[in-house]
């Protein structure tokens, strides 16, 4: 989802317009915004994104006072799955936040967050195959084919692979506009992820429903934004009623 | 019905001191790789907060060794830690750890049990009077949850058959219905909104299932009083059925002529039936029941095939002869 190159968002509203810029923002630690992202924010987000992994690993090995409880397999599987879904949501949050908070450079963090989402989804799948099924390939095949919630989750995992593969600068250049289209798949992936979460729950679906509501907000924001940004030709057609 | 599991001489029955230690011994022996750290951390001891000791007769028919022979699998009992910290008891919350965290709020004394319906003797009983006539027995049973995890648990209880006979059920008593206590102020899961299940929790058995020698009314665990999170003061265990049939904290027993409602069937009828017999060939609509994960076994050695009637086919299969078990799931 590259940022449209068009004029500034109409949605920003005249009252929220900042006063005429008197002085450029003070450089933080003598770094301009490019360098701040490259040298400070990106590494910080990278380390923070590894924190759930460190927590899961510590729980498994009983380090730092963490414990995976009586059933470590289920604990790791569920917590890792939820972490994966959280990263998909954080990635989807980048665009609304940078527009609404006026932080255009946030875009520089999005690829890394998306790749962490892929990392945690792949880890979740690996835990399922290795620790839960214990490499029982027959059951794996049967689960994917016959268990709808696993079919949905597995499909989401498969759809994430092309997005991870095409996340490099080179692929972005090579695919051009098609890259944007391809990466809209993440909306479907997020919906499948929530569906998978909802469907595996035995009875208590309160948490999946909260995720569904947040996803509706994230996608709804995009729908509204796209509507406001629709091409002038379309707008004229509506005005004249044709 | 005669139990055909061979009698084990008393010298071979595993005394509690041994089974508390056996798991850790076994874990150390088997553990490898990642499993090693888990196994070492799982020292099997009976903690100080375990309740008062009960006196009971260890039951030779279901000793550890008999179980090993029956299934050909490792049937080492789970630890106190596992059995009391990982279970479903939605009255206290839907997480596996919620019962252990919240069950202390339930007051189990005084406790009354109402016996109603198609029986000659009915009425309200104090728990102490209700239990007085019976000798306690220990039964080590496999426990299979409908969620496809399993444990091996040393229960202490009373065969339901001998308990029910005292009330002289009439010929109209075709079923037995049970009900859990309803106390939202002491059971946070019952007051959550929207309700996760229709309260109070209800379960039922056909009279022949209730009278089967394996069916146990449980008052203890590991030779100690049953802890609240596992269903104190009185719960049912039907070892050839999925765990949700084992209704906890029972306050009502009713003999009925027609099949009584059971809570999970009311909540999701296409997923949970009345019978709920463990059956590897009848999948849950959303997951397979062909195998299960044994809680507490070393990592990568937890998954094992699920046995028909949870390995108790010899004792119970006759009751279902001619029944379509796909239809009556």
b/e map of B43-70 (b: 16 or more CB within 10 Å)? ebebeeebeeebebebbbbbbbbbbeeb
Among B37, B286, B306, pick the best mutation site for testing chain A contact (most A Cβ within 10 A): B286
- Indicate the average pLDDT of chain A: 87
pLDDT recorded at residue B21: 45
Strand partners for B137:
B57, B157
Would you write out chain B's pLDDT as a tens digit for each of its 329 residues? 333 333 333 333 444 444 444 444 333 333 333 333 323 333 345 666 678 888 877 655 455 555 544 555 667 889 999 999 999 999 999 999 999 999 999 999 999 999 999 999 999 999 999 999 999 988 889 999 999 999 999 999 999 999 999 999 999 999 999 999 999 999 999 998 889 999 999 999 999 999 999 999 999 999 899 999 999 999 999 999 999 999 999 999 999 999 999 999 999 999 999 999 999 999 999 888 999 999 999 999 999 999 999 999 999 999 999 999 999 99
pLDDT recorded at residue B69: 47
Q: Kindly indicate the confidence band of residue A3, based on its pLDDT and cuts at 50, 70 and 90.
A: very low
pLDDT recorded at residue A231: 81
> How far is residue A176's CA from residue B61's CA, in Å, rounded to a whole number?
73
User: Which CATH number fits the domain that encloses residue B140?
Assistant: 3.90.420.10
- Per residue in A115-141, pLDDT (tens digit) is 999 999 999 999 999 999 999 898 888
Nearest chain A residue (CA) to B84: A70
Q: Give burial (CB, 10 Å; 0-12/13-18/19+) of A226.
A: exposed
Min Cα separation A97/chain B (Å): 32
Q: Does this complex have an ipTM over 0.95? A: no
pLDDT recorded at residue A233: 74
Nearest to B286 among A60, A69, A149 (CB): A149
Min Cα separation B231/chain A (Å): 19
Specify the pairing of strand B303-305 against strand B175-180. Answer: unpaired
Specify the pairing of strand B250-256 against strand B112-117. Answer: parallel
The answer as to whether B328 is a domain residue is no
Strand partners for A171:
none
Q: CB of B143 within 8 A of CB of B64?
A: no
b/e map of B105-118 (b: 16 or more CB within 10 Å)? ebebeebebebbbb
Return residues 264-293 of B near A (CB < 8 Å). Answer: 267-268, 283, 286-288, 290-291, 293
**E strand segments, chain A:** none
B86 and A71: CB-CB below 8 Å? Answer: yes
Chains A and B form CB pairs within 8 A to the count of 68
pLDDT recorded at residue B48: 63
SS3 call for A107: helix
The answer as to whether B149 is a domain residue is yes
pLDDT recorded at residue B20: 47
Asked if A139 has any chain B CB less than 8 Å from its own CB, the reply is: yes
Asked if B32 has any chain A CB less than 8 Å from its own CB, the reply is: no
Nearest to A69 among B86, B147, B286 (CB): B86
The answer as to whether B28 is a domain residue is yes
The DSSP line for B98-164 is HHHHHGGG---SS-EEEEEESBSS-EEEEHHHHHTT---EEEEEEEE-TTSEEEEEEEEEEEHHHHH
B287 and A133: CB-CB below 8 Å? Answer: no
Min Cα separation A72/chain B (Å): 9
Name the phi and psi angles at B229, rounded to 5. -65, -15
Domain range for B20:
12-320
Q: Where are the domains of chain A?
A: 32-229
Higher pLDDT, A230 or B116: B116
Asked if B147 has any chain A CB less than 8 Å from its own CB, the reply is: yes
- Per residue in A5-56, pLDDT (tens digit) is 444 444 444 444 555 555 556 666 777 888 888 888 999 999 999 999 999 9
The answer as to whether B4 is a domain residue is no
Helix (H) / strand (E) element for B222: namely none
Among A70, A146, A153, A154, pick the best mutation site for testing chain B contact (most B Cβ within 10 A): A70
Which residues of chain A lie closer than 8 angstroms to B196, CB-CB? 203-204
Helix (H) / strand (E) element for A45: namely helix A42-61
Which residues of chain B lie closer than 8 angstroms to A134, CB-CB? 300-303
Asked if A63 has any chain B CB less than 8 Å from its own CB, the reply is: no
Lowest-confidence segment of A97-101, A160-164, B35-39, B200-204 by average pLDDT: B35-39
The answer as to whether B327 is a domain residue is no
A208-228 average pLDDT score: 95
Asked if B149 has any chain A CB less than 8 Å from its own CB, the reply is: yes
Asked if B10 has any chain A CB less than 8 Å from its own CB, the reply is: no
A142 and B288: CB-CB below 8 Å? Answer: yes
- Per residue in A54-71, pLDDT (tens digit) is 999 999 998 998 999 999
Which residues of chain A lie closer than 8 angstroms to B195, CB-CB? none
Which residues of chain A lie closer than 8 angstroms to B197, CB-CB? 203
B37 and A61: CB-CB below 8 Å? Answer: yes
> How far is residue A87's CA from residue A84's CA, in Å, rounded to a whole number?
5
> How far is residue B247's CA from residue B178's CA, in Å, rounded to a whole number?
7
Number of structural domains in chain B? 1
The answer as to whether B166 is a domain residue is yes
The answer as to whether B63 is a domain residue is yes
> How far is residue B89's CA from residue B98's CA, in Å, rounded to a whole number?
8
Q: CB of A91 within 8 A of CB of A113?
A: yes
Q: CB of B114 within 8 A of CB of B252?
A: yes
Return residues 181-200 of B near A (CB < 8 Å). Answer: 196-197
């Amino acid at each position: 989802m590259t940022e449209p190159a068009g004029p500034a968002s109409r949605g920003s509203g005249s009252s929220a317009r900042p006063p005429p810029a008197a002085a450029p923002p003070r450089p933080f630690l003598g770094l301009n915004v490019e360098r701040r992202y490259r040298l400070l924010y990106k590494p910080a987000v990278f380390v923070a994104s590894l924190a759930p992994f460190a927590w899961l690993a510590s729980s498994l090995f009983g380090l730092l006072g963490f414990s995976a409880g009586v059933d470590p397999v289920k604990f790791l599987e569920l917590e890792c799955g939820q972490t994966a879904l959280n990263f998909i949501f954080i990635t989807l949050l980048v665009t609304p936040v940078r527009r609404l908070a006026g932080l255009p450079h946030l875009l520089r963090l999005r690829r890394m967050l998306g790749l962490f989402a892929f990392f945690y989804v792949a880890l979740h799948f690996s835990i399922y195959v290795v620790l839960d099924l214990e490499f029982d390939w027959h059951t794996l095949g049967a689960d994917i084919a016959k268990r709808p919630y696993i079919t949905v989750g597995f499909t989401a995992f498969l759809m994430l692979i092309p997005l991870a593969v095409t996340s490099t600068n080179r692929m972005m250049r090579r695919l051009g506009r098609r890259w944007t289209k391809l990466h809209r798949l993440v909306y479907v992936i997020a919906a499948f992820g929530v569906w998978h979460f909802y469907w595996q729950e035995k009875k208590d679906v309160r948490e999946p429903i909260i995720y569904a509501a947040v996803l509706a907000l994230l996608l709804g924001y995009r729908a509204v934004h796209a509507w406001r940004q629709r091409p002038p030709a379309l707008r004229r057609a509506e005005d004249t009623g044709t | 019905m005669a139990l055909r599991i061979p009698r084990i001489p008393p010298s071979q029955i595993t005394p509690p001191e041994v089974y508390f230690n056996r798991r850790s011994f076994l874990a150390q022996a088997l553990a490898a790789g990642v499993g090693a750290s888990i196994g070492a951390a799982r020292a099997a001891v009976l903690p100080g907060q375990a309740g008062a000791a009960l006196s009971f007769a260890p039951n030779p028919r279901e000793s550890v060794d008999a179980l090993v022979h029956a299934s050909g699998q490792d049937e080492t009992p789970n630890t106190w830690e596992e059995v009391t910290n990982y279970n479903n008891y939605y009255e206290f919350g839907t997480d596996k750890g919620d019962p252990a965290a919240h069950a202390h709020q339930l007051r189990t004394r005084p406790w009354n049990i109402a016996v109603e319906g198609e029986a000659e003797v009915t009425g309200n009983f104090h728990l102490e009077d209700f239990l007085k006539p019976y000798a306690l027995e220990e039964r080590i049973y496999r426990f299979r949850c409908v969620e496809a995890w399993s444990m091996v648990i040393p229960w202490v209880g009373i065969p339901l058959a001998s308990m029910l006979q005292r009330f002289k059920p009439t010929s109209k008593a075709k079923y037995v219905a049970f009900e859990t206590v309803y106390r939202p102020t002491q059971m946070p899961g019952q007051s959550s909104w929207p309700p996760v299940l229709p309260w109070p929790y209800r379960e039922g058995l056909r009279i022949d299932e209730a009278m089967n020698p394996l069916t146990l009314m449980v008052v203890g665990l590991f030779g100690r009083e049953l802890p609240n999170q596992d269903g104190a003061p009185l719960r049912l265990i039907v070892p050839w059925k999925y765990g949700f049939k084992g209704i906890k904290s029972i306050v009502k027993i009713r003999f009925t002529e027609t099949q009584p409602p059971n809570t999970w069937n009311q909540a999701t009828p296409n997923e949970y039936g009345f019978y709920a017999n463990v059956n590897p060939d009848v999948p849950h609509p959303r997951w397979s029941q062909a195998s299960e994960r044994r809680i507490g076994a070393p990592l990568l050695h937890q998954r094992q095939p699920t046995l028909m009637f949870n390995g108790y086919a010899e004792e119970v299969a006759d009751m279902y002869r001619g029944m379509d078990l796909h239809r009556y799931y």
